[in-house]
Amino acid sequence: MATLHRKRVLVTGASSGIGAATARRLAREGADVALLARNRRGLQEVARRVEQEGAQAVVVPADVADREAVERAVQRSADALGGLDVVVVAAAAGAFGRFAEIPPDDFDRCVRVSFGGAVDTIRAVLPHLERSSGRLVVIGSAGDSISLSLLSPYVAAKSALDAFLESLRAELRAAGSDVSVSVVRPGAVDSPFWRHLTHPGELTPPQIPPLTSYTPDAVARAAVACAANPRSGITVGGSTLLLQAVNAVARPITEVAFAAMARVGRRRSTPDPAPDALWEPSGDGSVDGGLRGRPSAYAALRRRLPL
In a domain, 198, yes or no: yes
229 assigned to some structural domain: yes
- Taking residue 129's Cβ as centre, other Cβ atoms within 10 Å add up to 24
CATH number, residue 56:
3.40.50.720
pTM, full prediction: 0.86
Which pLDDT score is estimated for 151? 87
Assigned domain for 270 exists: yes
Structural domain total, the chain:
1
Residue 3 lies in a domain: no
- Is residue 2 in some structural domain? no
Which domain does 26 fall in, by range? 8-303
Residue 29 lies in a domain: yes
84, part of any domain: yes
In this prediction, residue 241 carries a pLDDT of 63
Whether 235 is in a domain gets the answer yes
CA 7 to chain centroid: 21
pLDDT beneath 50, residues of the chain: 1, 210-211, 270-273, 275, 293-294, 296-303, 305-307
Rounded-to-integer distance, Cα 262 and Cα 248, Å? 20
Residues marked as catalytic = 154
